[in-house]
Amino acid sequence: MNKLITYLFVLYSIQLCSCHTDTSSNQHKTVFNINLEEGLTSLDPAFCRNHYTIWMDNQLYNGLVQINDSLKTIPCIAKSWETSADGLLYTFHLRNDVYFHDDPHFANGTGRRAVASDFVYSFGRLIDPKVASSGSWIFSDKVKDKSAFMAPNDSTFQVRLKQPFAPFLSLLTAQYCSVVPKEVVEFYGKDFRSHPIGTGPFRFKYWKEGEVLVFLKNDHYWEKDEKGNRLPYLDAIRSTFIADKQTSFLEFVKKNIDFLNDIDGSYRDDILTKAGKITQKYKGKFVLNTAPYLNTIYLGMLVDTTLPIVKKSPLKLLKIRQAINYAIDREKMIKYLRNSMGTPGYEGFVPEGMPGFNGTGVKGYTYDPEKARCLLRDAGYPNGKNMPEITLATTIGYRSLIEYVQGQLERIGIKTNVEITQGASLRELISKNGINFFYGSWIADYPDAENYLSVFYSKNKIPFGPNYTGFNNKKFDELFEQTYQVKDDEKRFAIYRQMDNLMMEQSPVVVLYYDKLVNLYQNNISGYSLNGQNLLVLKRVVKSSY
């Protein structure tokens, strides 16, 4: 009963918030309404493992640095920094006006200043085996142990690396690297997931899991706009958890939701033409934003011949993998199955929109069915004769896409069996090398191509990292390790392209397309961010009256 009363009180407060006129400022209170179809498992940044969690954590927390819409690393709590000549010691100089949200477990219940020792604690949590953070990879191979994190004084924080790592600052923009207060985290323990305290533009108010989540404006937030006005502008964020995408779209059309991410295939043709333009039915009804999104959609193929599952798989043969790459008409796939919301994957694994991507530096695979048939014949399977059927695993959301691939492969003589499974089950299969051929996507954790190429580094083979295909190439590994030392971005980007080319020649993946972000906003929303990571940034959003 108490929980019900609290829930009704919060909803009542939000309704008042959205229509009440503040007599002191003569401005309407504003609530930004969004829907998170997949729900949340935690609001603890140490477990910031999926897209919606990243979005919500970005409202609650800050890190040392952050990205702007051009994916450049810019100051956040760290106002400046320097790196030692050997590239091992990073020294950050912190702002002195950043405070944690209020919580009863601070002295007098008032949020205290965030200081360097808070980063020592926060980063140490990520590599603490007792915490078992999904973000342990951030530092686990880059620092010796927790002693690598140092606080000479409240305003100076240092990190000592085991070896140089040129993209380190970019890595620190990941939400895993948010600062949290030790005394609050240790009081709540595992329950910090639902009692989050950060320094971000919004503060936690209420969470009824699977139903509603409410954040309120942080009145003491440190960032200001160009005119000196304190951010954020919104008074609250209200998130619902409607799992059905058609239902959430109808709520958007009724203006009960202010923002919608992506357009589901079940109603895509109703909203978009095949050329990717808004249909006449919805023209002017809302704002559609699209841009390159750091998300590569691909098919992975196990190539590690030491694995029993690979020994009898035709995918162990390079010519078969290359034939599959040439067999797929990606342009037709994007136009008719994605309504042009994507870019055909004709280059490498590193996607369009990534700093250093130039569209011509990496040679991928174009549509060439005749070449595919020749490769199939040269591999000993003319027109697919005597070639074993291959199982291709995917999730229900990508069924039509993968069935399209199945049809394309059938045309050159490769028979596949499409196996539909739950997302969690497929991820588990992939993480245990339990499937030879699988649908996958790789979304950037941070805006540097190293994040994508690490997927093929031999030392990242399962169970140590995300090398799900078991790719192993000595030259690739040498180049990968060489990039750690290269501080000059353009020189490092050139090596990245060399690595991407080398990997594509061996074809452990089929790059289907580079995704585009698709953001729908109501016409009265302005000040939104448009960035290649599709990171939801609400601190500058303004919601006007109709």
> Distance between CA 259 and CA 236 in Å, rounded?
14
Strand partners, 87: none
Please, what's the largest Cα pairwise distance for the chain? Answer: 80
> Distance between CA 222 and CA 234 in Å, rounded?
15
Reference 231, options 221, 239, 241; nearest CA is 221
> 408: buried, middle or exposed (CB in 10 Å: 19+, 13-18, 0-12)?
buried
What pLDDT, on a 0 to 100 scale, did the predictor assign at position 266?
85
What secondary structure, in 3-state letters, does 59-127 show?
HHCCCCEEECCCCCEEECCEEEEEECCCCCEEEEEECCCCECCCCCCCHHHCCCECCHHHHHHHHHHHC
- Decide which of 2.70.98.10, 3.40.190.10, 3.20.20.20, 3.40.630.30 is the CATH code for 31-239+524-543: 3.40.190.10
Asked if 269 and 339 touch (Cβ cutoff 8 Å), the reply is yes
- Compute, in degrees rounded to 10, the torsion defined by CA atoms 90, 95, 96, 99: -100
Reference 201, options 182, 220, 229; nearest CA is 220
Asked if 480 and 448 touch (Cβ cutoff 8 Å), the reply is no
Q: Kindly report the pTM of this predicted structure.
A: 0.87
- Which spans in 382-507 are helix H? 399-412, 423-431, 450-453, 474-483, 489-506
- Compute, in degrees rounded to 10, the torsion defined by CA atoms 41, 44, 45, 48: -10
Burial 119-158 (b: 16+ CB within 10 A, else e): bbbbbbbbbeeebebbbbbbbebbbeebebbbbeeebebb
Reference 443, options 321, 298, 325; nearest CA is 298
DSSP 281: G
Sorted by sequence, the CB contacts under 8 Å of residue 39 that are 6+ apart come out as 52, 209, 210, 241, 243
Burial 489-503 (b: 16+ CB within 10 A, else e): eeebbebbbbbbebb
**What's at 204, amino acid-wise?**
F
Residues in the chain: 546
Rounded to the nearest 5°, which phi and psi values hold at 324?
Answer: -60, -40
3-state secondary structure of 176: helix
Asked if 150 and 157 touch (Cβ cutoff 8 Å), the reply is yes
Asked if 440 and 431 touch (Cβ cutoff 8 Å), the reply is no
Mean pLDDT by 10 residues, the chain (546 residues): 46 46 54 92 92 95 96 97 96 98 94 98 96 91 96 98 95 97 96 97 96 97 96 98 93 96 90 95 95 96 96 96 98 96 96 89 96 97 95 93 97 96 89 94 93 94 88 97 92 96 98 96 96 96 91
What pLDDT, on a 0 to 100 scale, did the predictor assign at position 28?
72
What secondary structure, in 3-state letters, does 336-391 show?
HHCCCCEEECCCCCCCCCCCCCCCCCCCCCCCCHHHHHHHHHHCCCHHHCCCCCEE
What pLDDT, on a 0 to 100 scale, did the predictor assign at position 20?
39
> Distance between CA 369 and CA 412 in Å, rounded?
7
Q: Where are the domains of the chain?
A: 31-239+524-543, 292-517
Reference 492, options 483, 501, 500; nearest CA is 483
What pLDDT, on a 0 to 100 scale, did the predictor assign at position 22?
38
> Distance between CA 281 and CA 300 in Å, rounded?
39
Class of the CATH-defined domain 292-517: alpha beta
Strand partners, 400: none
Sorted by sequence, the CB contacts under 8 Å of residue 173 that are 6+ apart come out as 63, 65, 66, 67, 73, 446, 447
3-state secondary structure of 488: coil
**What's at 392, amino acid-wise?**
L
Asked if 526 and 294 touch (Cβ cutoff 8 Å), the reply is no
> 275: buried, middle or exposed (CB in 10 Å: 19+, 13-18, 0-12)?
exposed
